[in-house]
Amino acid sequence: MSTVPSRLSVVTLGARDIGTLRSFYRSLGWPEVPASDDGWSAFLLGGVLFALYPLPELAAEAAPGMPEPAAGWSGVTLACNVDSREEVDTAFAAAVEAGATVVAEPTDRPWGGRSGYLADPEGNRWEIAWAGTARFDERGALLSFG
């Protein structure tokens, strides 16, 4: 029996305005992959490729014949875990300065960590979080959680 490898390699957001999203993610200080342009853009983040692709083209590939999703929250969140409780507030403020919209200010959570929620210019939700049990390698890739 074959298995699917237990890894997440690429996360792709369908972009309504890829130029605006590229600018936003670059303003976070994230290094863009050299082959990026307004037809496809990507950022290598701790071993996962975070890609932006025009929504109509992504919809044609991933959901042929279905209507494009409405703008706003899709029910999915992405998270950037940081190394300390204090860094949540620092990273959160930097994202707001870069153009993110505050959804929920950072707060201590019942599960023992700290996090806050932001939206990028197209409404995609990001959580900036710290969990004391998270361990990362030198690239920032998550090694263990809990």
Question: In this structure, are 54 and 94 located in the same domain?
Answer: no
Question: In this structure, are 78 and 130 located in the same domain?
Answer: yes
> Residue 42 belongs to a domain with what CATH number?
3.10.180.10
Q: Give residue 56's pLDDT.
A: 95
- For residue 13, tell me if it sits in a domain: yes
Question: In this structure, are 19 and 53 located in the same domain?
Answer: yes
Q: Give residue 71's pLDDT.
A: 84
Under a CB-based contact definition with an 8 Å cutoff, are residues 145 and 131 in contact? yes
Q: Give residue 49's pLDDT.
A: 96
Question: In this structure, are 123 and 92 located in the same domain?
Answer: yes
Q: Which domain holds residue 88?
A: 71-137
Per residue of the chain (146 residues), what is the pLDDT tens digit?
789 988 899 999 999 999 999 999 999 999 999 999 999 999 999 999 999 999 999 999 999 999 988 888 889 999 999 999 999 999 999 999 999 999 999 999 999 999 999 999 999 999 999 999 999 999 989 999 97
Q: Is 59 helix (H, G, I), strand (E, B) or coil?
A: helix
Q: Is 61 helix (H, G, I), strand (E, B) or coil?
A: helix
Q: Looking at the 3D structure of the chain, how many domains does it have?
A: 2
With vertex at residue 90, the alpha carbon angle to CA 85 and CA 94, rounded to the nearest 5 degrees, is 145
Q: Give residue 70's pLDDT.
A: 86
Q: Give residue 80's pLDDT.
A: 96
Question: In this structure, are 89 and 109 located in the same domain?
Answer: yes
